[in-house]
Chains A and B, each alone.
Chain A
Amino acid sequence: MSRIVGIDLGTTNSLVAYVDERTGLPVVIADRDGRRLLPSVVGFTPEGIVVGEAARWQLARRPADTVYSVKRLMGRGWDDVKDELRYFPFKVLSVEGVVKLAVGGREVTPPEVSAIVLRALKERAEAHFGEPVEKAVVTVPAYFNDSQRQATKDAGRIAGLDVVRIVNEPTAASLAYGLHRLGQGVIAVYDLGGGTFDISLLRVKDGIFEVLATNGDTHLGGDDFDRVLMLWLLEDIQAKHHAELDRDCVDLANDNEIMQELRLAAEAAKVRLSGEERTTLTLPLPGFTYRRVITRAEIERLLEPLVARTLGPCRKALTDAGLTPAEIDQVVLVGGSTRVPLVRRRVQELFGKPAHSQLNPDEVVALGAAVQAQILAGGITDMLLLDVTPLSLGIETLGGIVSVLIPRNTTIPTSAREMYTTSVDGQTVVDMHVVQGERELVKDNRSLGRFELRGIDPMPAGMPKIEVTFLIDANGILQVQAKEQRTGKAASIEVKPTYGLTDTDVERMVEDSFTYAEADVETRLLIETRNEADTVLTHVARALRQAGPLLGTAERQAIEAAVAALRAVRDGNDRDPIRERTTDLNHATEHLAEAMMDAALKGALGTKRADEIMTSTAETPPSHGDRQ
């Protein structure tokens, strides 16, 4: 069997991993600069498409053409997402019920955007192995429904990857722990990522990973943490600086670029507050600079309701599994948002025992996907994952009531059979409406699609006996088969997915993906370098405006010379000089950064000196170290 890689297609970051044949252990594949995480950000530029770090650099400068957190839109209908769209700086449309993004002068679907991320990971793996990679295991949140899983599979196909298995993120994590012999007995995996939350309870015994129950919320994660902090800061800015804002006619909430800067600053502050008790947020705005100290207590008050929302699904999963918190042997934390101390505390309180994350919470899902890939490739034979379907599957019956065919938390693969007949003489078509969810009424559940049974021989009403089999495969994806019992003939079924793409759509996208070629490697690197240069130039220009008086003439002139030198090469097609001048400018502004930081803190904290308050949390504006 050919090589299969494991991919974690995350809301914020994505990774690709494989199991090293020599050690038998999973490893994450880094890019040529040693970066393991690929930001799940895609930028559409006139020069072509950029992805990952390069795209992230342009988030604040080209907000309308830079797509992030697209996972939140995967397999979703317009009604599901319309409320949160105002927070996205890019344009989202509803085209015949399908969610599309209008970016870079074209319309793309969420699976096409995810496909660009997947293709970048595929190329990363191919560069590592020096050979084509065509198969992958891709992870999804355990609580993803059928449409969301299908959309993920479609994204793989558009990227030229055969997705041989969709595996749930928390269970993937448990495989990684299991391989390291770190998880045995009954374990709870609490997985809070950038956009989604899952809780899975498993029994790990004799190499079998049996999921007992799973629950979650596919719209809850670090993005929401950032958002509440951002909105709180926005109010604070508007309250304290309305005079300046009015004077300059600045409408903060409707300025995409400023809102992106604010979002990124809020995210950075959140990350710092996981390690520190307090931090200072500095945001240069038109005409003034906003500064504020944020304490751990303040952010926790904002996050508390969101963290509380994760506890309900935990209790429901415990009930479904018939377990009490005391019966859980181990609690494992997965996903970047579990670094937030409040999350750890609440989880610990609920389960009554410390929660741990011995394996890197950002990488463990990809490592587990690699383990599952190795199982499928036949390289591991002593481990087996028995997962469940997270949501009940049912069909619409008279009066819009759901008849449940497969209850939630049923081990997959699983199937249910149902007999159908006709209600009118000579009827040749029977219509079925399949839904997923836990509510009694069809309208309160998620519609998966309408299935039309065709080619029934004309007979008196009630005579045909059609046996329909609903099968949920090991990917958690529904397959429907039908057979007329009298003739034994398979009936043909036409699927009209409610939110997903039809086969024809996907075929077309596979073709389009070749015409919408990405910027080639050289162009991409050039764009990346220019983006970095632009970011540094923007920061330095602001810093000079604000902190200019703190500098001596000689220093000021040196910085201005470095700015001019960078500007002179910025538009050239050779990236080396751009990079060199960017580095020079960074060096020239080191003192400016320190001076600003000091001034900012004096302003914010009165008389104390910077080093009395914090040592390592300073965010020096002109530098460009990795954000988390």
Chain B
Amino acid sequence: MSDFFSVFGLERRLAIDAPALQRRFYELSRQWHPDFHGGAAADVQARALEESARVNAAYRALRDPLARVEYLIRLEEGRDTNEGAAIKPKAPPALLAEMFEIQEALEEARAGALDDATRATMSEQRAGLEARMAQAEAQITGPLSQAWDAAAPAGKPAALNALKDALATRAYLRTVIDDLVAVLEPEQVGGLGG
């Protein structure tokens, strides 16, 4: 099966012109959306449904630069079926001591005690981690993505590994931030079931 880049007539590159991608998505939607094939024969309708589902999936995978990197990794590794993150969170070695401290504070807060001082510390830690995550994201969608695009075939695996490591760090930061948010703003979490 062809990949999501080719759905939009693109080469396998991480640099994508966002407005052009959106234009092409709208064009393909106009071509395939079931709304415009309601009166057609059953097989044409089925084809339209399948194609438009594919166009939607492709756009979802490519429009966001981070999701695009995740998709590229899946594609390069030959995994094609399930959506969702394929990257396991990994703590960055440089942050281990600090992370230990945060985990400890989290344990305490979960045990029931969340005084103003702890709350303030945790809010500060959260802000620090969010800044780090933004940095990690900028690194992934900026220099690391450019490096993969620019690499010669022989250099691609190394460039891909760099992307994977950075994504693992980001995923780790994400989970710790989520844990902090769960303690600091419990009303923001859960309760979404319809």
Contacts and interface: CB of A to CB of B under 8 A. Distances in A.
A438 B29 contact: no
A589 interface: no
B108 interface: no
A413 B28 CA distance: 13
Interface of B: 26, 29-30, 33-36, 38-39, 49-50, 52-54, 56-57, 59-60, 64, 81-84, 187-188, 190, 192-194
Contacts of B38: 1, 164, 376-378
A474 B29 CA distance: 12
Contacts of A411: 56, 59-60
A208 B56 contact: no
B35 A385 contact: yes
Contacts of A444: 190, 193
A438 B60 contact: no
Q: Which of B49, B53, B84, B188 gathers the greatest number of chain A CB atoms within 10 Å?
A: B53
Nearest 5 interchain pairs by C-beta:
A438-B192, A437-B193, A411-B56, A415-B53, A145-B194
Contacts of B59: 411
Given A386-B29, A406-B83, A381 B36 contact: yes
Contact of A413 (B36, B49, B81, B83): B49
A322 B65 CA distance: 13
B183 to A, nearest CB: 17
A208 B194 contact: no
Given A208-B29, A316-B192, 11 more contacts: A144-B194, A210-B26, A375-B35, A377-B38, A385-B35, A391-B192, A412-B56, A413-B52, A416-B82, A438-B190, A438-B192
Specify which of A1, A381, A411 lies most central, judged by the most chain B CB atoms within 10 Å of its CB.
A411
Contacts of B82: 403, 405, 416, 418
B57 A384 contact: no
Contacts of B57: 414-415
A148 B194 CA distance: 10
Given A375-B35, A378-B39, A471 B30 contact: no
A218 B192 CA distance: 11
Contact of A446 (B81, B83, B193): B193
Contacts of A414: 53, 56-57
B51 to A, nearest CB: 9
B33 A384 contact: yes
Given A1-B38, A446-B194, A416 B33 contact: no
B81 A474 contact: no
Contacts of B56: 386, 410-414
Contacts of B64: 322
Q: Among A1, A378, A414, find the residue whose CB has the most chain B CB atoms closer than 10 A.
A: A414
A419 interface: yes
A602 interface: no
Contacts of B193: 437-439, 444-446
Contacts of B81: 417-419
Contacts of B84: 403-404, 407
A437 B194 contact: yes
Contacts of B188: 312
A57 interface: no
Nearest to A439: B193
Interface in A43-78: none
A276 interface: no
Given A412-B56, A416-B83, A474 B194 contact: no
Interface in A552-601: none
Interface string A19-36: 000000000000000000
7 contacts: A164-B38, A208-B26, A375-B35, A386-B29, A386-B56, A415-B50, A419-B81
Nearest to A143: B194
Given A145-B194, A391-B194, A412-B56, A384 B35 contact: yes
Nearest to A471: B53
Nearest to B194: A145
Interface string A84-105: 0000000000000000000000
A612 interface: no
Contacts of B39: 1, 378
Contacts of B33: 384, 386, 474
A83 to B, nearest CB: 15
Contacts of A473: 34, 49
A459 to B, nearest CB: 21
B194 A218 contact: yes
Nearest to B80: A417
A194 interface: no
B148 to A, nearest CB: 23
Contacts of B50: 415
A606 to B, nearest CB: 44
B88 to A, nearest CB: 16
Contacts of A445: 193
Nearest to A147: B194
B192 to A, nearest CB: 4
Nearest to A319: B188
A611 interface: no
Interface centre among A391, A413, A438 (most CB of B within 10 A): A413
B189 to A, nearest CB: 10
Nearest to B51: A413
Contacts of B53: 413-415, 471
A281 to B, nearest CB: 34
A444 B39 CA distance: 40
Contacts of B190: 438-439, 444
A34 B119 CA distance: 61
Interface in A297-352: 312, 316, 322
A148 B36 CA distance: 26
Interface string A269-312: 00000000000000000000000000000000000000000001
A312 B56 CA distance: 28
Contacts of B83: 404-407, 416
A206 interface: yes
A471 B49 contact: yes
Contact of A439 (B26, B30, B192): B192
Contact of B29 (A384, A406, A418): A384
Contacts of B30: 208, 384
A1 B38 CA distance: 9
A445 B190 CA distance: 11
Contact of A206 (B26, B36, B187): B26
